[in-house]
Chains A and B, each alone.
Chain A
Amino acid sequence: MWFVMLFLGLAVFAALASLVVACERLGGIPP
């Protein structure tokens, strides 16, 4: 249970990082 909870938290942060990458590819980057 200990590892499951820790990895769940890290998985949420990984999902948020994916959102950043997706937004960047959609073009939210200054030239």
Chain B
Amino acid sequence: MMWTLPILVILGCALLSIPLGWYMAWAMNSDAPGVPGRLDSFVARLGGGRCGDSPRWHRYAMSMLVFNAVMFSVVFVIFTTQTWLPLNPDGKKNMSADLAYNTAASFTSNTNLQHYSGEQQLSCFSQLFAIMWLQFVSAATGIAALAALCRGLSGKPAIGNFYRDLARATVLVLLPLAAIVALGLVLCGTPMTLQGSAVATTLEGLTQTISRGPVAAVVAIKQIGTNGGGYFGPNSTHPFENPNFVSNIIQNASIILIPMAAVWMFGRIVGSWKQAAVVFAVMGVLYAGLVGTAVVTEQAPTAALAGLPVQEAMNLEGKELRFGSSAGPLWAVSTTATSNGSVNAMHDSLNPLTGMMPMIGMWLNVAFGGVGVGFINMFLYIITAVFIAGMMVGRTPEYLGKKIEAREMKFALLALLAHPLFILGGVAIFAATPWGQSTTQDPGPHGLSEIVYEFSSAAANNGSGFEGLGDNTPPWNIATGTVMLLARFIPIILPLAIAGSLASKKRLAESAGTFRTDGVFFGVILTGVVLIIGALLFLPLGVLGPVAEHLAVIRGSGVP
């Protein structure tokens, strides 16, 4: 039975992703008149007629940065002035400046790392017009960037217009899907109201305040857009956010659906289903491997209950049993492999080796990855794999008929090395200073894992937390806020630069010297490159944290 839910969710989403990817390609790339054309005209009118296609990648990237800088500033002001703004029925206070910085950076970067508790510190206005707005447009930014990358690779003369792509991704892709998911959640019992908290009298005669609000709307885009920021502090473990087994399946499927579909969208736009199938297979193997390992390692009982007079078949600590026994590890991997970050179980309570699977998902960041950006991250590995394999077998390094040269490799490696730099650099500083040492809940390997997880989550734009860490402090807020912004946009800017560079090159005819990238052999090489470059960089952290903790449990020295 433990495999039923993972198999159902993974296979179901893989099948649904094909028509959705086809639809997304139409929505993002169709030149035909109709709904996309009318939307383009509307955006052009808003922009005063200055919304034409640009052949230059840097204009596209600059538009993206300007838009996101404005969004960051606006929501920062909203968070720090929400007391005086409308839709504040519970009289929520203004956020502190460093927490507002972290929260604005977190939602602008599609991370949704939450150093605050939503139901305690955000007004309805902040939830709807800052949080939910950014959950739409930050996810749309990822889809727009992928569409631009695909156009650059497909040989189109123009890379596109950012504002037009943003509108298309928001209105044609995210809004309809979020509406469907929200409707499903309301049917499952998730609240959807603009009224403030309900006040109830308990059987003992005490007064209890029950938080509620536009929960279904927020949760729908939180999952569809791989955002992850919940309406309530406990996220999808909260019975209002995730009431039952069906709502759990809907949400888990929503997390991985668009990242899977993005691969087929790429195949449709560049006109090669075979290329897309190879990438999908590699991502699928990595994702299924992480899910399988997590489900198996979570079958061991938790060391926290060792020696107590209780019988446990598996680790049930920190799990919501209404979702089923394998729902926790499946979600833990889904949410971290796709840069979502929502949780339906306490990750801090996972067995040590299970807890390492979400970390590996964030270190690799390509097991489908975030909306749009998951494929963009994989594109960096593809460029690297093509170059390495081409050099090894003496073939010309080419991808989609374009020659890969030193310039593209420099951009790709810069983007790939930025990710470990943010994680390893951040962990080194915080593990060696009171900024991190004084905020961990546990000493030893588990305490190190808490710091590693926090920086991995920020750098992968994931947003989930190991919890136990006292992370709402100025050093944590400023450090992770800065990492989230840099880690979001550097891996978008550099691949766009590569696409711009490749777009300027002539498409080469396929010859006997061409190294094929649409077969099983390339899939194996790509998997190897992802594991060697992506995983080995983080091996020491894995050994010092979760592996050391696992060995301590086996040895019987227990968990600190």
Contact = CB atoms under 8 A, between A and B. Distances in A.
B149 to A, nearest CB: 12
Contacts of A20: 58, 61-62, 65, 493, 497
B407 interface: yes
B101 interface: yes
A27 to B, nearest CB: 6
Given A13-B65, A17-B65, A30 B76 contact: no
B490 interface: yes
A28 B76 contact: no
B559 interface: no
Contacts of A28: 57-58, 407, 411, 496-498, 500-501
Interface in A1-31: 1-2, 4-6, 8-10, 12-13, 15-17, 19-21, 23-24, 26-31
A23 B478 CA distance: 27
A10 B70 CA distance: 9
Contacts of A19: 490, 493-494
B136 interface: no
Contacts of A30: 55-57, 500, 503-504
Contacts of A5: 76, 97-98, 100-101, 478
Contacts of A4: 97
B128 interface: no
Given A1-B98, A20-B61, A30-B503, A6 B73 contact: yes
Nearest to B57: A28
Interface residues on B, range: 35 or more
A23 to B, nearest CB: 4
Contacts, number: 94
Q: Is the interface of B mostly helix, strand, loop or mixed?
A: helix
A25 B58 CA distance: 10
Contacts of A6: 73, 76, 97, 101
Given A6-B76, A20-B61, A20-B65, A29 B98 contact: no
B407 A9 contact: no
Contacts of B55: 30
B494 to A, nearest CB: 7
B132 interface: no
A22 B41 CA distance: 33
A30 to B, nearest CB: 4
A9 B62 contact: no
Contacts of B496: 28
Contacts of B98: 1, 5
Given A13-B72, A31-B504, A26 B407 contact: yes
B69 interface: yes
Contacts of A2: 80, 97
B77 to A, nearest CB: 8
Nearest 4 Cβ contacts at the A-B interface: A28-B497, A30-B504, A5-B101, A13-B69
Given A12-B485, A28-B497, 14 more contacts: A4-B97, A5-B98, A8-B482, A9-B76, A9-B101, A9-B104, A9-B481, A9-B485, A13-B68, A17-B65, A23-B411, A29-B57, A29-B501, A30-B500
